[in-house]
Structure 1
Amino acid sequence: MTVSIVHFTTDTTRVEVTMTENNAATQDFLSKLPMTVTFEDFHGKEKIAFPDERIDATGAPGMAAEIGDFFCYAPWGNFGFFY
């Protein structure tokens, strides 16, 4: 299994994400790094961001969301965190 570690940083916070899925969406996301995005709140359950270029999630499996999960949302090509 290939594991990638990605860091998200703000002025005061650093979040480390362990990417354990090795699929087309993961590879496309990683190929776009580094990037700067702005996160926004979505329904009081998610922090989402829209990169300049959509993430291609073609063929990526769905997921049962849990708090702390990092995700890519295929229909919008964005990504975020569940909290």
Structure 2
Amino acid sequence: MKIRFVFDDQTIHATLNDTPTTRDFVRQLPLSFELEDYASTEKIAYLPEKLTREGAPSGTSARAGDIAYYAPWGNMVIFYRDFGHANGLIHLGKIDAGLKRFTSGQSMVVTIELDE
């Protein structure tokens, strides 16, 4: 599955895994919200509804460019730096190119939609 992050100045494409959690995320698209910087490592945004954890591991590690869901908080995460193992973290997919757009320490407004 392909999605795109639409900013005012750029569109970034990403590829999602085919899992129950990811399908649940795609059902909520399109979404528009502010991505907040968190711990100078990731951008986060809270989803309107929590996603299923069906079939998901208890946790995972993340690498720069990963898109994930942090189940305990109900938020989507885009990592722009590598991150160690976290319980409740579910890998959703990966940014295809253009990760640099996410690396500023500032919040940013984005729309996430299916990339048909």
Q: Shorter-chain-normalised TM-score: which range? A: 0.7 to 0.9
Aligned residues: 79
Q: Pick from 4, 7, 20 the counterpart of residue 7 of structure 1.
A: 4
- Matches of residues 72-83 of structure 1 in structure 2 within 5 Å? 72-83=69-80
SS of the aligned residue for 2:30 comes to: coil
Counterpart in the other structure of 1:23: 19
Larger Rg: 2
SS of the aligned residue for 2:23 comes to: helix
Q: What do residues 11-38 of structure 1 show as CA deviations (whole Å, max 9, x unaligned)? A: 0121111012x22210110111111121
More strand by share: 2
User: Using CA pairs below 8 Å that are at least 6 residues apart, which structure has the higher relative contact order?
Assistant: 2
Cα distance, 1:58 vs structure 2: 4.1
Stretches of structure 1 that go unaligned for 5 or more consecutive residues are none
CA distance in 2, matches of 1:67, 1:43: 14
- If the length of structure 1 is used for normalisation, what is the TM-score? 0.84
- If the length of structure 2 is used for normalisation, what is the TM-score? 0.62
Q: Give me the identity figure in percent.
A: 38
